[in-house]
Amino acid sequence: MLHWEHKTGQKTFESPKGGKHNMNQSNEIVIQTRGLSKSFGEVKALKSLDLAVPKHSIFGFLGPNGAGKTTAIKLLLGLTRPTSGGGTIFGLDIGRDSVEIRKRVGYLAQYPQYYEHMTARETLRFTARFFYTGPKAEIEARVAETLELVGLAGKADRPIKGFSGGERQRLGIAQAQINYPDLLILDEPAASLDPQGRRDVLEVMERLRKYATIFYSTHILDDVQQVSDTVAIVNHGELVAQAPLEELLVGSEGTVYSVVIKGDPSQAHGRVVGQPWVSGIRATTAEGQTAWQVSVTDEAVAEATLLRLLLSDESVTVTEFGRKQYELEDVFLSIVKEDNNE
């Protein structure tokens, strides 16, 4: 099971390698919050959020519905005021310097709304003029380029009221990045899209990562696993995990190898479990095959020795061997479940 340790109000990820991941170690932090909290009357929507989003990361902000993701995003953008705590984006205060921050940010709301009578081109032109005064030809070129990027060039001059959910979302992404933002904040960017639309959005995000930091909330864990490099999980308004995706997927059980063998495993089991670098074996048997989850304490030795050890035993045949990879969904659910039980 993954282990989460409370540390001065923040839950810090403890990696299997023994090191605690501290986001402050990163040289360039784009978003930094300290004790960011928001209450609506008696309801605490966000409790002391401490985030650190590294530059050029695709930062997945995960949580179940109602966890406080949108509230956090609105606080970052100055659309809502914190009850306590605060934060910075590009080193600028999210409360005091909100307009300056928004000059360098692109935002896509969860349910984006635009003037229905406007066309996509008019909407992007209107958006672009919040950032640029001219020249007119350059603005038009940027609008056309952005429409092309999101695949709306063919529908550029149709009123938005006739757009499908997917087309609106594409327009949302277009308007969010028209100003060449240094930071893109996307609230559930792929939630209302079909698989093709989702793939397109992820592609756009991948393409933009070399220019911008992308902070996005989602509950589609497959997407996170595909594109994110860093992840934070919120539950009931509280940050329960924050770590690079790689570390999160490794799990806190340490390094675990997954082995499937045919034949009598008893001799092999004795040989493996007797190794000093093996901390445990969890075995299950099904359809004449035995599956082992071998936990090891020394990754390097295990990598060099474990398979060789198994292959040297002629009474078994190894049909599968590899380092166990956790699915983000497993990790997410276990963290949220653990948090709910606390």
Partner 1 sequence: MSSNSALQPVNERGWRSGFANLLRNENLEWWGSRRWLTQAGLWLLILNGMVTLVMFVTPAVMQVTQDDNAGAMDPISMGIPAFFQMGATALAIGTVILVQGEVVGERQSGITEWILSKPVARPAYFLAKMVAHSIGIFAVMIGFQSTVTYGLFWLANGDPLPLLPFLVGVGGLTLHTFFYLTLTLVLGVFAKTRRQVLGVAMGSLFGGMLLLNIIGRLGLITPWSLPNILPALVIQIPLPFATAFMPILMTAIWSIGFIAAALWKLSRLEF
Residues in touch with partner 1 (CB under 8 A): 74, 77-81, 99-100, 102-103, 105, 107, 109, 111-115, 126-127, 129-135, 138-139, 142, 177, 180-182, 208, 211-212
Residue 260 contacts residue 320 (beta carbons within 8 Å): yes
Q: Least Å distance between CB 37 and partner 1?
A: 14
Of 169 and 225, which has the nearer Cβ to partner 1? 169
Which residues make Cβ contacts (< 8 Å) with residue 149, sequence separation at least 6? 174, 177, 204
Q: Least Å distance between CB 56 and partner 1?
A: 10
Of 186 and 306, which has the nearer Cβ to partner 1? 186
Of 106 and 251, which has the nearer Cβ to partner 1? 106
Q: Cα torsion at 117, 120, 125, 128 (round to 10°)? A: 120
CB atoms within 10 A of CB 72: 31
Q: Least Å distance between CB 83 and partner 1?
A: 11
Q: Least Å distance between CB 153 and partner 1?
A: 18
Angle made by CA atoms 318, 322, 327, in degrees to the nearest 5: 135
What is the Cα–Cα distance from 259 to 266, expressed in whole angstroms? 14
Of 100 and 327, which has the nearer Cβ to partner 1? 100
Burial zone of 320 (CB within 10 Å; 0-12 exposed, 13-18 middle, 19+ buried): exposed
Of 45 and 302, which has the nearer Cβ to partner 1? 45
Structure tokens of 76? 């970052």
Q: Least Å distance between CB 208 and partner 1?
A: 7
Q: Least Å distance between CB 16 and partner 1?
A: 35
Q: Least Å distance between CB 123 and partner 1?
A: 10
Of 182 and 223, which has the nearer Cβ to partner 1? 182
Of 74 and 198, which has the nearer Cβ to partner 1? 74
Q: Least Å distance between CB 192 and partner 1?
A: 14
Q: How far is CA 251 from the centre of its chain?
A: 16
Q: What is the largest CA-CA distance in the chain?
A: 78
Of 60 and 181, which has the nearer Cβ to partner 1? 181
> Angle, to 10 degrees, between the axis of helix 120-128 and the axis of helix 165-176?
20
DSSP-derived secondary structure for 23-64: GGGSS-EEEEEEEEEEEETTEEEEEEE--EEETT-EEEEE--
- Which pairing describes strands 183-187 and 213-218: parallel, antiparallel, or unpaired? parallel
